Amino acid sequence: MGLSFLFKSRYSVLFSYVATFIAGSFLIRLGLMVATLENTGFSFLSILRIFGQGLVYDFGVAMFLVLFYALYLCFLPQRFVRSWFNILLSYAVLFLMTVIAMFSFFAELTFWQEFESRFNFIAVDYLVYTYEVIHNINESYPLPLLIGGVVLISLLVLFGFMKTGAFKHHFQSATTFKKRVTITGMIFLSCLFYGFFVPDSWAEEGSNRYHNELAKAGIYSIFSAFKNNELNYNHFYKMLDKPEAYRVIRSSLQEGNGRFLAADASIKRNISGTGTGCKPNVIMITVESLSADFMAHFGNKEGLTPVLDSLANTNLLFTNMYSTGTRTVRGMEALSLAIPPTPGSSIVRRPGNDSLTTIGNVFEKAGYHRSFYYGGDGYFDNMNQYFGSNGYDIVDRGRKVMAGDHYLTKRTIITDEQVHFENAWGISDEDLYTAVINGSDRQFEAGKPFYSFVMTTSNHRPFTYPEGEIDIPSGTGRNGALRYTDYAIGRFLREAATRPWFKNTVVIIVADHCASSAGKNEIDISKYHIPCIVLNLPAGVMNLTGKNKQITPLCSQIDLYPTLFNLLGWSYESNLFGKDVLAKSFVPRTFLGTYQKLAYLKNDSLVVLSPQQKVETFLYDPLKNEQLPRKFSGHVVKEAIANYQTAYDLFKNGGLHQ
């Protein structure tokens, strides 16, 4: 049974589709490679590998797409082949499969434009949160034209099948049942083989991330990402003996003013304050996608953030802080739990994340009222469940009430009357800050200090904002969104300064993550560099830190609150992995990760942990942003493993609960 027979049997349309899909995938891969030429080099062997592995993945995707149609063709009696039922069904099925293929090609191009990656864990999230995503796409792209283009191309493909005689052979063939079972059986066995023996990670054996991503196939990658939503550290990553892991982590967390509360697998300790223990209000503005290199202070020449740059020149500034991840929920995890990123989904989105020893829990014990402000619907990314079940009051758009919202301690809805501008992701930063000021007024009147976690949305595609506030038209790109984000912060601070509570309120401005994480390396360290500015510190604290103080050591988002608490002189119980950056014992280090890769950078020593117990070591040159492979072992590797292993162990086994 030769290949020519397949294109002249009742399977002729099916295999014509397979050939067309593989050809289209080849063109997409070629186009992405051409678009990537400026970022990385290609050798003959790398190109051979990219298109060779790509062909294997593309064939697998095609087999999965045609499997059910192949089963139908196998069991369709010969007398029905020319029936109107089969004719209509065949045209409909082939049209649907072609639409799926063409839509996936367009989606891959737009996803690559945003993330320079094949579909991954982020794409899985986008499939779950369809409301925001569909509206975002509708506001960012000419959706009617795209849909029309997909439909038109699909119709042209079907017309091509008709012109080549594929449908003619399908309707006029007389393929025996034995041959039908053989063909369908081979397709079925191919699907089983791919499902069990061809993982998406097969394409990740190379050292160049772009080469790895180009070798993959989008549909294959998205199902792999969905399957691997949660990764068990103990199954996939390098381990130390549990007692040794805790000895290493406890040693690295030991500080002169800290005392561990237990001798077993725990990091809980009492931190003794050295000051008077003042209790200002604290408002943390977590700015969406605020890369450090957007600011003039870090070398930007476009004048995008005049307000932030002015604040950075006159307040406490962390100049060398890095985010733990590339998603908002990862930043929330770091800023609310002070914990390194664990593999898989953020703790914000996992079961069993209630009643944790969060930063909010520290504020609660100090007598603070705690609130979470979000300009969108807090059901997105499980934010409301996470913050609500950890004792925060919720202030959000509130258009959707999900099953299980009983966990909300208190929820305030931002009503239509309070909103002057809104896009797919949420209300404008100005409207959000108005809600923060109103909430702060109420909490001040109640007589308790307050802590507010504020999450913005304006610096996000489709980059739309109220017209007339800045001199860049809305929706024209990220530069405009950044200018508006900066403007709104300035407006908030001016308005807040008129309130009686502001003189005793510390304001923190920090990013959740950078605008882009893609680079030549799987974890591109420069794409995790974020700004963090602490404003309005009490006078005594400013005397300790000095005017125009810059905190320059390499550090992480998770170090923000341990540093602040020690500046304020607090004594508190800590279950945090973060450390006081200003302490004499602090050793510069930071944590970075994707949902699979976990990195630990200590001074210039970089350790990257990956599934299959893989450990890679590099020397990092920050001036060139280069990771130079170097073989080393010893304590820095053990520290990397211990941090991630114990973070996973504590959450999984209840060690992070109150």
Mean pLDDT of the chain: 90
Q: What is the DSSP letter of 382?
A: G
Q: Is the pLDDT of residue 133 over 70?
A: no
* Digit-coded pLDDT (tens) for 140-191: 777 788 889 889 999 999 999 898 888 888 888 888 999 999 999 999 999 9
CA distance 167 to 153: 18
Other Cβ atoms less than 10 A from the Cβ of 160: the count is 12
| pLDDT band (50, 70, 90) for residue 117 | confident
Collapsed DSSP state (helix, strand, coil) of residue 530: strand
pLDDT value, residue 402: 54
Contact at 8 Å (CB) between 267 and 577? yes
**Interval 92-113: pLDDT, tens:** 999 999 999 998 998 888 888 8
Amino acid letter, residue 124: V
pLDDT band of 344, cuts 50, 70, 90? confident
How crowded is residue 186: how many other Cβ atoms within 10 Å of its Cβ? 12
What is the per-residue DSSP string for 153-176? HHHHHHHHHHHTTHHHHHHH----
CB 269 within 8 A of CB 259: yes
According to DSSP, the residues that pair with 555 across neighbouring strands are 321
CA–CA separation, 85 and 105 (whole Å): 30
Alpha-carbon distance 492 to 82, whole Å?
71
What confidence score (pLDDT) does residue 71 get?
Answer: 96
Cα separation of 623 and 620, whole Å? 9
- Complete domains list, the chain, with CATH: 3-227 (no CATH), 236-652 (3.40.720.10)
* Residue 40 confidence class, pLDDT cut points 50, 70, 90: confident
Cβ 483 vs Cβ 465: under 8 Å:
no
Candidate from 24-38, 39-53, 128-142, 184-198 with smallest mean pLDDT = 128-142
> Phi-psi bin for 397: left (phi > 0), alpha (psi -120 to 50), beta?
alpha
Task: Quick: pLDDT tens for 272-302.
Answer: 987 667 899 999 999 999 999 999 999 999 9
Contacts of 211 (CB under 8 A, 6+ apart): 40, 42, 46, 49, 50
Among all chains, which residue has been given the structure tokens 């990092």?
620
CA of residue 360 relative to chain centroid, distance: 23
Look at 406 and 159; give whichever has higher pLDDT. Answer: 159
Dist. CA 341–CA 195, nearest whole Å: 29
DSSP state of 237: S
pLDDT band per the 50, 70, 90 thresholds, residue 619? very high
pLDDT in tens, 72-89: 999 999 999 899 999 999
Return the DSSP state at 340: P
Of the candidate ranges 59-63, 313-317, 420-424, 521-525, the one whose mean pLDDT is the lowest: 521-525
Predicted local confidence at residue 525, as pLDDT: 95
- pLDDT in the model for residue 228: 57
Do residues 253 and 269 make contact, with C-beta atoms less than 8 angstroms apart? yes
pLDDT digits (tens, 9 = 90+) for 386-398: 999 999 999 999 8
Q: Whose structure tokens read 């602040």?
A: 564
3-state secondary structure 591-651: EEECCCCEEEEECCEEEEEECCCEEEEEEEECCCCEEEECCCCCHHHHHHHHHHHHHHHHH
Of all residues in the chain, the percent with pLDDT exceeding 70 is: 93
Q: What is the pLDDT of residue 289?
A: 95
Q: Are 524 and 462 in contact (CB under 8 A)?
A: no
Note the pTM of the prediction, 2 decimals.
0.76
Residue 643 has pLDDT above 90, yes or no: yes
pLDDT tens per residue, range 1-12: 556 667 778 999
For the record, the structure tokens of 557 come out as 């988002």
What is the C-alpha separation between 635 and 630, in angstroms, rounded?
15
Residue 218 banded pLDDT, cuts 50, 70, 90: confident
Label residue 227 by pLDDT band (50, 70, 90): low
| pLDDT at position 542 | 64
Task: Give the pLDDT confidence score for residue 548 in this predicted structure.
Answer: 55
Q: How confident is the model at residue 521 (pLDDT cuts 50, 70, 90)?
A: confident
Average pLDDT over residues 402-414: 69
Provide the pLDDT for residue 231: 66
What DSSP assignment string belongs to 472-511? S-TTS-HHHHHHHHHHHHHHHHHHHTTSTTGGGEEEEEEE
| Mean pLDDT score, 402-423 | 79
Q: What pairs with residue 591 in β-bridges?
A: 600
Which pLDDT does position 493 carry in this prediction? 98
The whole-number pLDDT of residue 460 equals 87
In 3D space, the residue among 546, 479, 542, 466 whose CA is nearest the CA of residue 515 turns out to be 479
Can you give the pLDDT at residue 401? 59
pLDDT at 214: 92
What pLDDT is recorded for position 132? Answer: 61
Banded pLDDT at 411 (limits 50, 70, 90) = confident
For the range 260-263, what are the long-range contacts, defined as Cβ-Cβ under 8 Å and sequence gap of 24 or more? 261/573
Average pLDDT estimate for 602-631: 93
Please, what is the end-to-end C-alpha distance for the chain in angstroms? 67
For the chain, how many residues are written? 658
Q: Span 349-376, mean pLDDT? A: 95
CA distances from 253 to 66, 258, 406, 481 (A): 55, 9, 37, 39
pLDDT for residue 544: 60
Q: How far apart are CA 145 and CA 288, in angstroms?
A: 30
